[in-house]
Amino acid sequence: MKRHHPGQTQAAHVHPFALKVTVAVLAGAGILSSASVWAQDAATIDTNTAVVTVSGVRKAAQSAQTIKRNSDEVVDSIVAEEAGKFPDKNVAEMLGRITGVQVRREFGEANSVVIRGLPGLVTLLNGREMYTSSGRSLYLADIPAAMLYRVDAYKTQGAEMVEGGTAGVIDVRTSRPFDAKGFTSNVVARVENRDKSNSTDPNVSGMVSNRWKTQYGEIGALVGLSYQKGNYHDEVTWNSPPEPRGNGITGPNDLGHVLYQGERERKAANFAFQWRPSQDVELFAEGISTEIDHAAQRQFFVAGLGWNPNSQFTLIPGTNQVASVTSTNAFPFSLSSTQAPLDYSIGSQGAIGARWDVSRQLRLTTELARTVSNFRQEFPIMDFIASPPTVTGNTYVNGGAQFYYPGYDMMSVNNYRVATLFDNHSHSEGRSTDWRADAIWNPAEEGFVKELSTGFRIAKRVASFAHELNGFMPAPGNIPLSSVPQLACTSMPMAGDYGLAQWLTPCAGYMHDNLTAIRRMFNGTGLKTEEDKLSRFNNEEDTYAIYGKAKFGFDVGSIPVDGTAGVRVVHTRASLNGFSLANNVILPVNSQPSSTDVLPNATLKALVAPDVIARLTAGKSMQRANFDQFNPGVSYNVPSTTVMAVGNGGNPDLKPIEGNNFDAGLEWYFAPTGSLTGTLFRHDFKNYILTSSTKETYNGIVYDVNRPRNMSKGTLQGAELAYQQFYDGLPGFLNGLGLQANVTYMKGDLTDVNGDLKPFVGMSKLSYNVVGLYERGGWSGRLAYSWRDKFVETFNYRGLGFDLIVAPIKTLDGSISYKINDNMSVTLDAENLLDRTYHDYHGVPSNPRDIRRYDRVIGLSLRWKI
């Protein structure tokens, strides 16, 4: 398809009075900041423990284990083996190996992330809130691994952390120049081959960093660049929901295929500047920007089964579900369609901040950050209609649907007509300014109180969104495809045998290159569809937060106990602007909700044996609804032969989700890279938000309208177990073997206002990861297997009374590296070795919905460093 878019050292002497006055002035002006990195990492004023030196697979595992052991909160981390070196391409992919974290992979990469089955995450970049366009979370796949220092997945939250997540916090830490001892640089060149898309694509990244001692103090600077290009191919074959066929028998109306192809380009850059004029003062400036071009096409084929009294069918043995059907001379509905999304996204964040150690006991930090993110999409869809007389369909063959058209040529332009254009488009934007300041005080004498800290944060956020109004355009008259053959392309080949192998489908590239002319063919003007007022929102949200936290310690007999107690008070004030429909008149709506949330948190950590830690945490968390969920408007599809009567709306009366969270853990650290840890957890929810479908009538048509609603309450509980060890006692080459393994078990449900139980969407009861490690001499490697149990994808699917359920998913990835010399290494990695499938079904396994297959990826990387 044609693309269109593109450790501390003493510095030189500086007069202390002048320096302190300068810092005070900058802090008062809001230019210095509490680098939340400092606020969260620093247990005391000595920050040496916050610097993680990494070298090799073993050292990376050791560093992650040290972070977990020393943390007040329940946290799991992934640390770079060396600066800029991770075995994954982006943040989302690496998170899938962390205990209790599950990711979903489609469209060529890992994307959505859940912690303990819950999607309510706070995503932070260097301790600061970061998001994508009008959403509340960062699209983690957009952050390339080349820029990372480490990733922390917090299951519990301290009072000093930015609020907003009931599931946990993902904090992505980028490299800074003071992380290294001096000059360092690296360049990574990678090519990856994907089997189903039959493509070989480049990935290039590089980083250079240095620090200097000058007469003005120590200065450090870092610059990083990344370019990733990736083609992908996903293929899907599906069944529509089952419907009664008489005598208790059920079967689908339609079968179909969907072939996804896309090309995604990511360009990213980051910088960091640090200046330490004296040992007591440090200033920094840093920023990151990512730009994504994504051109895709989704080729659909919808095969009606032509049900009539003469249709012949068989049943799946032992069920009343139809296995196969043949309808002769039925002229079933047959549609070929291409969706051609063209996406452009750009997001940037910049921050300046400082630390001032006023004395040996008092540290002040402050930080000012600005985030801007924009997204826009052109999404034309065109349909062709064919009229074959006979169809034969099988509802479950090779894991999916299979259908044929005997005696009918689906590759002839003479057998199609142009039917429909959907002129879809949307755009969204997010902007925010955050300022926070913190103070940390350590008593001069050892006692019960080890540290007191306090701080505040002020954040102003604006989010907006709009999409098209009724992009549906039927073709004027009967347009035979033979009269406009330039619109037709041959569909992509399929890896599996699903009957109809190829067909004619609208050309995505032609649609983008000639979109104005195509619009003119359908509407006579060539004009773009106007925006839907009911889809628009422009929301403002102001947040004011203040916290206080104490760290303490005492002995219970011979057992030392450390703990924290803190509280965060958050006041949120919003102005939510949208539109609603009353008596077919569109009216502006403004609501100004406000809330004050008090979020206490406490932890206890006891050293019950020299290498054994018992841990207890309890706290309250809150999560605001997404901005689009507040939108009072409802957007209705125009129902047709290809579009169901569906509406999507919001709920301006949504309340924040409240969570009371409890964790109890026991952790045994028997070696620098050896540990066995277990955690029991429970989350009690109030006002949990669940989106479901209900029947609503508009203009005499019954629509399935999806709306978010607050549930009355909910409970989720479970256990995590993790193990890590390198087997140093093994003989010979086996001496380099290591193992990481973890398992998570969960159960829970939600209760609505009527007392009915609802499932947690996206929660697998059981999941586990097993990662084999190896490092010896110049060789290192990983082999990672992940498995997650079935989960509910959509509650009350299309209002039909059953849930859409995803079957268990298993994934196997691997990599092997060889260090040629001190400056150069080569890595071979492979993703999706098992040719995984994604399979979901309508309530019960004998009613399948679809089966999805993805690319196998083989990558070869060459890394050069100094």
Residue 765 CA, distance from chain mean position: 20
Closest CA to 129 of 485, 434, 403, 492: 434
**CA end-to-end distance (rounded Å), the chain:** 39
The pLDDT tens digits for 174-190 are: 989 998 889 999 899 99
463 burial type by CB count under 10 A (0-12 exposed, 13-18 middle, 19+ buried): buried
In whole angstroms, what is the distance from residue 707 CA to residue 87 CA? 40
pLDDT at 86: 56
- For 308-334, letters b (16+ CB in 10 Å) and e give eeebebeebeeeebbbbbbbeebebbb
**H or E element at residue 522:** helix 515-523
Q: Where are the beta strands (DSSP E) in 711-756?
A: 713-726, 737-751
Residue 55 or 588, more confident: 588
**Structure tokens belonging to residue 196:** 């189903």
843: left (phi over 0), alpha (psi -120 to 50) or beta: left
> How confident is the model over 354-401, as pLDDT tens digits?
999 999 999 999 999 999 999 999 999 999 999 999 999 998 777 678
Are the C-beta atoms of 235 and 242 separated by less than 8 Å?
A: no
Q: Structurally, what CATH architecture does the domain formed by 16-865 represent?
A: Beta Barrel (2.40)
pLDDT for 25: 33
> β-strands 168-174, 121-125: how paired?
parallel
For 757, counting Cβ atoms within 10 Å of its Cβ (0-12 exposed, 13-18 middle, 19+ buried), the class is exposed
Could you read off the pLDDT of 288-297 as tens digits, one per residue?
A: 999 999 999 9
Mean pLDDT of the chain: 86
pTM here? 0.84
Helices and strands (H and E) in the chain: how many: 6, 49
Residue 22 has pLDDT above 80, yes or no: no
Whole-number Å distance between alpha carbons of 855 and 833: 10
Q: Is residue 459 over pLDDT 50?
A: yes
Other CB atoms within 10 A of residue 587 CB: 11
Count of C-beta atoms within a 10 Å radius of residue 389: 15
Whether 43 shows a pLDDT value over 50: the answer reads: no
Q: Write down the pLDDT at residue 49.
A: 34
Provide the residue ranges of all domains of the chain, joining segments of one domain with +.
16-865
Between the alpha carbon of residue 865 and those of residues 84, 186, 234, the distances in Å are 10, 4, 36
pLDDT of residue 589: 85
Average pLDDT over residues 263-271: 94
Gap between the Cα atoms of 202 and 644, Å rounded = 41
